């Protein structure tokens, strides 16, 4: 099977089908205090534990940028992506703010380098 994650030293990353963005987790200790996930060693059918929680805010749009420049106050929209990656599939928990909340789908194969 094709690889669905990239491993770079202590980091593993994958393209999140819910966020349409990459998520990166640590699979080996790097700095003290940084959380470390367990990994089953497979790039084609990875399992990570525990769950992966990503929070932040969506980048502002060009339209919002124009409105900010015009003096309007715009609050960036918060997002939350909470998932389990098991055997190469990603299960999105219901607290995700994106449209794939509650769904389980295959991870996307990595493009060949």
Residue 25 or 81 with smaller CB distance to Zn ion? 81
Q: How far is the CB of 83 from Zn ion (least distance, A)?
A: 6
- Count the residues of the shown chain that bind Zn ion, applying the rule CB under 5 A: 4
To which H or E segment does residue 64 belong?
A: helix 62-69
Q: Report residue 14: phi and psi, to 5°.
A: -150, 160
Candidates 5, 25, 27, 81; binder of Zn ion (CB under 5 A) is 81
Among all chains, which residue has been given the structure tokens 């055997």? 87
Q: How far is the CB of 66 from Zn ion (least distance, A)?
A: 28
What the block records as the tokens of 52 is 């992966």
Contact 109, 14 (CB under 8 A): no
Binding mask 2-21 for Zn ion (x = CB under 5 A): --------------x-xx--
| Contact between 88 and Zn ion per CB under 5 A | no
Count CB atoms within 10 A of the CB of residue 44: 14
Query: Where do contacts with Zn ion occur on this chain (CB under 5 A)?
Result: 16, 18-19, 81
């Amino acid at each position: 099977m094709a690889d669905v994650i990239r491993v770079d030293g202590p980091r593993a990353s994958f393209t999140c089908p819910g966020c349409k963005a990459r998520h990166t987790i640590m699979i080996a200790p790097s700095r003290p205090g940084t959380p470390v996930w367990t990994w089953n060693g497979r790039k084609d059918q990875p399992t990570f534990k525990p769950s992966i929680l990503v929070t932040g805010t969506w980048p502002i749009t060009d339209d919002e940028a124009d409105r900010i420049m015009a003096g309007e106050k715009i609050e960036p929209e918060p997002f939350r992506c909470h998932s389990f990656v098991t055997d190469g599939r990603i299960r999105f928990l219901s607290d995700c703010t994106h449209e794939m909340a509650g769904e389980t789908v295959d991870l996307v194969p990595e493009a060949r380098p």
